[in-house]
Amino acid sequence: MPMSKRALILGISGQDGSYLARHLLRHDYDVHGSSRRPGADAKTNLARLGIAESVQIHELDLADPAAIRAILSEIGPSEVYQLSGQSSVSASFEDPAGTFQSNAINSVNLLESVRIIAPEARLFLAGSSECFGPTDELAGVETGFRPASPYAAAKASAHLYGVVYRKSYNLFVSNGVMFNHESPLRPEHFVTRKIVSAAARISLGISESLPLGDLTVRRDWGWAPEFVEAMWLMLQHDTPGDFILATGETHSLEAFVEAVFGCLNLDWRDHVISDPKLWRSSELGQSLANIEETTRVLGWRAEVKMAELAERLVGQELQDANPAGGAESAAMMSK
Give the residue numbers annotated as catalytic, written as ranges. 128, 130, 151
Q: Are 34 and 12 in contact (CB under 8 A)?
A: yes
Q: Are 52 and 18 in contact (CB under 8 A)?
A: no
Q: Which of 4, 11, 21, 27 is nearest to 76 (CA)?
A: 4
The neighbouring-strand residues paired with 222 are 181
Q: Which of 145, 260, 255 is nearest to 200 (CA)?
A: 260
**d(C-alpha 248, C-alpha 234), whole Å:** 18
DSSP-derived pairing of the beta strands 172-178 and 122-128 = parallel
Instruction: Please give the C-alpha separations between residue 206 and each of 6, 203, 209, 323, in angstroms, as whole numbers.
Output: 46, 8, 10, 17
